[in-house]
Amino acid sequence: MHEQINHPCVQHKLAIIRDVETGHKRFRELSTEITKFLCYEALKNIKMKEVEVQTPLAMASCRKIDTDIVVVPILRAGIGMLEGILELVPTARVGFVGLYRDEKTKQAVSYYERFPPQTHGGTCIIIDPMLATGGSTIATIDKLKAAGAGQIVVICIVTCQEGLSLVEAAHPDVPVYTASIDQELDERKYIVPGLGDAGDRLFGTSH
């Protein structure tokens, strides 16, 4: 399952974050802003419980979130989306997966992994701005399932059909929420039109 969030506020910000003229300060702010909208949608099916609340006037039947939430940024670019999730879910715990794409093979190479104990049985939100070939996302879902994660959802800012199809084939139970499903991958496995190298644009490491 995947969902592209077409809300005008998301699409307007996406247009600005894609722009080659947008510098790293604004790029970071937009990552946070877009992530908040995507997270709002991605959490719409999480586990809830019925509770009774005493208002100043009477008892009210209410619902509260009934699951631990663990957000997992894929290093490095996933860090750029962390603030947006934590603004929406301040009590979320944070796990980390370190992966980089080997420039020659384009395969995801794992170099770091640390999850809080609540990963076991918890609701895990994987964040990475770019889901390109899908290799990094699949490897992260594999790790979270091995750690006993309950529900898993993926939030990315931009993806493409090729990577999305691979993730859905490997993990049909994991929904992906995105602002855009772009046309294709180029020969370097960059998403086109995409937004370029997300890590470099976030952290100002390109020039």
Considering only 74, 132, 139, 154, the residue that binds ligand URA (CB under 6 A) is: 132
CB of 197 to ligand URA, least distance (A): 4
Q: CA-CA distance, 49 to 63, in Å (whole number)?
A: 5
130 binds ligand URA (CB under 6 A): yes
Residue 93, SS3 per DSSP: strand
Select 68 or 182, whichever has its Cβ closest to ligand URA: 182
Q: Which residues of 127-150 are buried (b: 16+ CB within 10 A; e: fewer)?
A: bbbbbbbbbbbbbbbebbeebebb
- Choose from ligand URA, ligand PRP, none: what does 194 bind? Cβ within 5-8 Å by kind: ligand URA
Helix (H) or strand (E) holding 184: strand 184-185
Select 10 or 99, whichever has its Cβ closest to ligand PRP: 99
3 binds ligand URA (CB under 6 A): no
Select 14 or 131, whichever has its Cβ closest to ligand PRP: 131
Residues 133 to 162: which contact ligand PRP by CB under 6 A?
Answer: 133-137
Which residues touch 70 (CB under 8 Å, ≥6 apart)? 92, 93, 94, 95, 115, 116, 118, 119, 122, 123, 124, 125, 149
The residue among 135, 158, 136 whose CA lies nearest residue 81 is 158
- Choose from ligand PRP, ligand URA, none: what does 95 bind? Cβ within 5-8 Å by kind: none
DSSP characters over 15-30: HHHH-TT--HHHHHHH
Site string for ligand URA, 158-197 (x = CB under 6 A): --------------------------------xx--x--x
Phi, psi of 176 (to 5 degrees): -120, 130
Q: CA-CA distance, 207 to 8, in Å (whole number)?
A: 31
Site string for ligand PRP, 69-108 (x = CB under 6 A): -----xxxx---------------------xxx------x
Binding site for ligand URA (CB under 6 A): 77, 130, 132, 190-191, 194, 197-199
